[in-house]
Amino acid sequence: GAVVSQHPSRVICKSGTSVKIECRSLDFQATTMFWYRQFPKQSLMLMATSNEGSKATYEQGVEKDKFLINHASLTLSTLTVTSAHPEDSSFYICSARAGTGGNEQYFGPGTRLTVT
Amino acid sequence: LAKTTQPISMDSYEGQEVNITCSHNNIATNDYITWYQQFPSQGPRFIIQGYKTKVTNEVASLFIPADRKSSTLSLPRVSLSDTAVYYCLVGVNTNAGKSTFGDGTTLTVKP
């Protein structure tokens, strides 16, 4: 099956610093990737939709200047949390759709971000 | 986007069949129904997808009535390792379509 990887799997940073999370589709090309955030005991919340070669579309309430998304190629999307604060601590998950169409999303393993 | 409603939690015992129902009253004509499984601190894993009637694969069955306003995920003979959160998503079957996760159902399988 299609595989999506994320790096790093876990990161701890200090307040005020920026953190970049990578999402890669390993064996397929993904024209669309999604970024989610999940707090403990809660569901996944869609943050933004990332399309290769164009600007990301952010969901209402998500600050685009704080969560920078770049979809530079058909296999890589990055999420940069700028000037991170403790309230940004969360589980960040990306997903990708294969270019052949379909509603099936392939999810990455997630990245645990802790801001101290 | 179609809103989904699922039971918050369900308990079962090993070897039993488990049926989880999801309500999606405002599903659109082009929407597909997809179910995912998530373990703690992991990304969701695709289980099954369908549009109407019944779909079956090696791990589950999906039953969708004619009005498509609900769907039922059926897990045959569950084991302890099936303890997880199960989400049903409703969305269009295109690359541009996005789906919103509902609250999910926490299934606990007991020995």
pLDDT at A100: 55
What does the alpha-carbon distance between residue B71 and residue B27 come to, in Å, rounded to a whole number?
11
Write the pLDDT tens digit of every residue in A69-88.
998 888 999 999 999 999 99
Structure tokens at A79: 């999420």
Does the pLDDT at position A62 exceed 70? yes
d(CA B31, CA A103): 9
* pLDDT for the residue A102: 53
The whole-number average pLDDT for the span A1-29 is 94
pLDDT band (50, 70, 90) for residue A103? low
| Contact yes or no for B14/B108 (Cβ under 8 A) | no
Search chain A and give the residue with CA nearest B30.
Answer: A103
Per-residue pLDDT, B30? 83
> Mean pLDDT score of chain A, rounded to an integer?
91
Question: Kind of pairing, strands A90-97 and A32-38?
Answer: antiparallel
Which residue in chain B is spatially nearest to A32 when comparing CA positions?
Answer: B95
- Residue recorded with tokens 């405002």: B26
Spatial distance between the Cα atoms of B52 and B40, rounded to a whole number of angstroms? 30
Q: How far is CA B67 from the centre of its chain?
A: 17
Q: Do the chains contact at B87 and A43, CB–CB below 8 Å?
A: yes
In sequence order, what are the beta bridge partners of A11?
A113
Interface test with B, best of A31, A93, A103, A114 (most B CBs within 10 A): A103
Instruction: Indicate yes or no: CB of B43 within 8 angstroms of CB of A102.
Output: no
Residue B21 token pair: 């129902």
Quick one: what percent of chain A has pLDDT higher than 70? Answer: 94
Q: Which two tokens stand for residue B30?
A: 């082009």
Return the pLDDT at B95.
45
Q: How wide is the angle at C-alpha A93 spanned by C-alphas A102 and A96, nearest 5°?
A: 25
Residue A99, pLDDT score: 56
Any idea what the Cα angle at residue A62 is, between residues B9 and A95, rounded to 5°?
Answer: 60
Is the Cβ–Cβ distance between B87 and B99 less than 8 Å?
no
Chunked mean pLDDT (size 10), chain B, 111 residues = 88 98 91 92 92 94 96 97 95 62 93 96
Confidence of residue A28 (pLDDT cuts 50, 70, 90): confident
pLDDT at A55 over 90: no
- Among B41, B98, B101, select the one facing A110 at the smallest CB separation: B41
